[in-house]
Amino acid sequence: MGKREVVESCMDNLMIEMVSAYCNQFYATKPELAARRIEAIGYHVGHQLSERYTMEHPRFSDHLEAIKFICKDFWSELFKKQIDNLKTNHRGTFVLQDNRFRWLTRMSISPTNTDLSQDSSITTIENKALQATSMYLYFPCGIIRGALSNLGIACAVSADMSNHPACSFVVRVKA
């Protein structure tokens, strides 16, 4: 039997509601706290997935091997494609670029989708949409950090979506 699958919009909708609950409801005035919670959810997911996907995998000899695993096997499980470009300064910083990050291509939030309150003006809706899009990225950042943490690598992960729909994840390994 093949791997179990669900329709992609289930995942999209779940992320929309997660971000909306934390950003608009629980921490509407404290985006940094909302971000931390969303990252924590991602961390948990990444940690568990990495555990599952490395069960029959030999130990990684170094950081680069582990990062390559994230770029290839791990990313393929999640997005059915690999990371397109990996750069490193060989001093603990890695840049993982996905040229067409699935969650950014599908997650461009139109104002009609986020319009929950009738009285908001267009500009606040647009600001909210922009803020929400960047909020989504805390989730995959958390996933990467959780996955690497499970492989014994403590790091910080940030995302850069200035070349939308490309997305770069910057991994800084903690010394």
Site residues (vs another protein, CB under 8 A): 3-11, 13-18, 20-21, 26, 37, 40-42, 44-45, 48-49, 52, 77-78, 113
Please tell me the distance from the alpha carbon of residue 28 to that of residue 117, in angstroms, as a whole number.
Answer: 14
Residues in the chain: 175
* Beta carbon nearer to another protein, 54 or 63: 54
Supply the minimum distance, in Å, between the C-beta of residue 154 and another protein. Answer: 20
* Beta carbon nearer to another protein, 56 or 62: 56
Q: Which residues pair with residue 88 across a beta bridge?
A: 94
DSSP track, 112-167: HHH--STT--HHHHHHHHHHHHHHHHHHHHHHHHHHHHHTT--EEEEEE-TTTT-E
* Beta carbon nearer to another protein, 18 or 173: 18
Supply the minimum distance, in Å, between the C-beta of residue 66 and another protein. Answer: 20
Supply the minimum distance, in Å, between the C-beta of residue 50 and another protein. Answer: 11
Supply the minimum distance, in Å, between the C-beta of residue 56 and another protein. Answer: 16
Helices within 54-121 (DSSP H only): 63-69, 75-79, 102-106, 111-114
* Beta carbon nearer to another protein, 51 or 65: 51
